Amino acid sequence: MRPRIGDVLAPNANNLGVLRLIAAIAVLISHCALLKIGSEAAEPLASVMAFSLSDHALHAFFFISGLTIAASLARARSYREFIVARVLRIWPALIVVTLILTLCVGPLLGRETASAYFADPGWAEYIRKAVYLSAAGLNLPGVFSGNPHLPIANGSPWTLKYEVICYGLIAICAISAGGRHRLARTHLIAISTAAAAAAMLLTPAGLYESFPGHLARFWFAFGLGVLTWQYADRLRLSFWTVAGLGACLWVSLGGQFERPLSIVFTASLVLFLAILPAERTRRFTNRTDLSYGVYVTAWPITQTIIEFFPDQPLLNVTLATLLLSIAMAFASWTLIEKPAMSLRPLLSRCLERFSRVAAIARFPRRPQVAPVRANPTFQTSSATTPQS
């Protein structure tokens, strides 16, 4: 009998950590071609499909995120704890990578002297926008200006703002449904996911790369993950299901339904691969999650390699980027990400206590005043009682 999806959602029973790392490496490979050649058409699959290899990998990321974030929100003790967990997962590593890039790499690789580099306000502006998840299209002063691709310091984190938006939307769905414990029973996820699919079908070709176009496809992938979590005990998946969806995608290439079908196929492929036996790799990725570190460090590493070795072939650039990114990701996980996530209980308790103190300070208790009793020996000409 085909296994139910619900039977493999436990971390020790699936390969989702492995697939996240594979998706990060797929983004790395795709971006190496983009940065080395300088054209988006150079990315794998870009010439035969609407989405490139990096796009498919991002859809896998968002689908897995929807699947795991829904479970995380449902079991969180409060929305505060949920928010703290998401902040500690995204920002610490991103901020450290940004500081290293702006304060160390930038002055060394800039076209001008270090003093001229720091005299330019662009580096400080880059840090500020990186914290706000809006620096993906920016560059540091004079850095990577001679590379084939447009000089962008770190283009990979451009999807993080959409990830955060998805976190906010699922929290809104839970609140609208009456609480986190009712997330599994709400129909808002299905309605919003269907609306995202409709938006993908109705979006004009010129707006695919706009903010609404990206939000529609990322929420569609994320929503599919949440729906999979909602109906995990009813869903079963087989190789023939994946093959059938792949055939439908192949027939739809170049048509109106290619984009949503490609995301559905990617989701089904992730689920099928998640249940395959991979005990050793599964244990490693559950213990050491390198996917986020690879994702946020690969782009500047590739740009740096191309800056110093512009004549190296694409294969050498890709292999060097992969090795250095894995090393940086291991350091990021060991020194930043894992210690930061261990602070979640402490930070949640601190915020809870702070909110209580703030509430008391804002709404102080009024002193209890004993009720005034009417004096039976005192009568007025009216029916009113004296004011205290």
CA separation (Å) from 149 to 154, 190, 368? 12, 39, 71
Amino acid, single-letter form, for residue 382: S
What token pair was written down for 286? 């559950």
pLDDT of residue 366: 56
Q: Could you give the 3-state DSSP secondary structure of residue 49?
A: coil
CA distance 262 to 53: 11
What token pair was written down for 241? 């299901």
pTM for the model stands at 0.89
pLDDT of residue 379: 41
HSE at residue 74, side-chain half, CA atoms within 13 A, is: 16
pLDDT of residue 385: 38
pLDDT of residue 383: 37
pLDDT of residue 361: 60
Interhelix angle 344-362/79-100, nearest 10 degrees: 120
CA separation (Å) from 298 to 27, 28, 131, 193, 295? 9, 6, 18, 31, 6
Written as one string, the DSSP assignment of 149-179 is: S---S--GGGGHHHHHHHHHHHHHHHHHHTS
CA distance 193 to 224: 7
Average pLDDT per 10 consecutive residues for the chain, totaling 388 residues: 69 87 97 94 93 96 95 89 94 96 92 89 94 91 90 94 96 90 90 95 84 95 95 85 94 93 96 86 90 97 95 96 97 96 88 71 56 46 38
- Under DSSP, the state recorded for 15 is -
pLDDT of residue 178: 87
CA separation (Å) from 367 to 172, 370, 372? 38, 10, 15
Q: Which residue has the tokens 């988006």?
A: 40
Under a CB-based contact definition with an 8 Å cutoff, are residues 61 and 270 in contact? no
CA distance 7 to 231: 12
From 209, 142, 172, select the one nearest 73 (Cα to Cα): 172
CA distance 297 to 98: 9
- First-to-last C-alpha distance (Å) of the chain: 79
Phi–psi pair at 4, nearest 5 degrees: -75, 150
Q: Could you give the 3-state DSSP secondary structure of residue 140?
A: coil
CA distance 89 to 339: 10
